[in-house]
Chains A and B, each alone.
Chain A
């Protein structure tokens, strides 16, 4: 699953560590989400999307959508 977390974070001028602190997770977890190695649970995904003022569909993209 692809996502726009890195784009949104950089647009907000936040470091991975700062976003991690805001979300209550580790910096490595933010990095893993951005690189697609880890798909967050629904509560964390909602928290993340709400912080940036977007819906989940706007931030996370199922790979099928590319077809």
Chain B
């Protein structure tokens, strides 16, 4: 029993730190990419934004449920439901933007890329995910 509880705590800590660490890592990647272009101001700003975001997740993650969930802390079933709904809302907005951008591009006589490719990836992912979860739910 105690092993399970300590395992849960370790997993919870890992979840809590995963997103801030990922944010810091992305900040370093952004810094390197901007730096390779010679845009050191952009590099510093991008790194600072990601460090600040990660710091907010760590400092406020235990005080605010919203910040905690943004930081990947999905300790219970309601947290997972909130994250799933947030993911769905984000996907709806993204696909709407992709379709709108695709329509604008082809109305201008362009071939619609890369929006057409992004739309195709989104559509195929939706079909595959639906099939996957239909078999396992």
Contacts and interface: CB of A to CB of B under 8 A. Distances in A.
Contacts of A32: 78
Chain A: interface secondary structure? loop
A38 B76 contact: no
Interface stretch (A8-16, A21-29, A49-57, A58-66): A21-29
Interface residues of B, number: 8
B77 A26 contact: no
Contact of A38 (B8, B65, B75, B78): B78
Interface of A: 24-26, 28-29, 32, 38, 40-41, 44
24 contacts: A24-B8, A24-B76, A25-B75, A25-B76, A25-B77, A25-B78, A26-B65, A26-B75, A26-B76, A26-B78, A26-B79, A28-B65, A28-B78, A29-B76, A29-B77, A29-B78, A29-B79, A32-B78, A38-B78, A38-B81, A40-B77, A40-B78, A41-B77, A44-B77
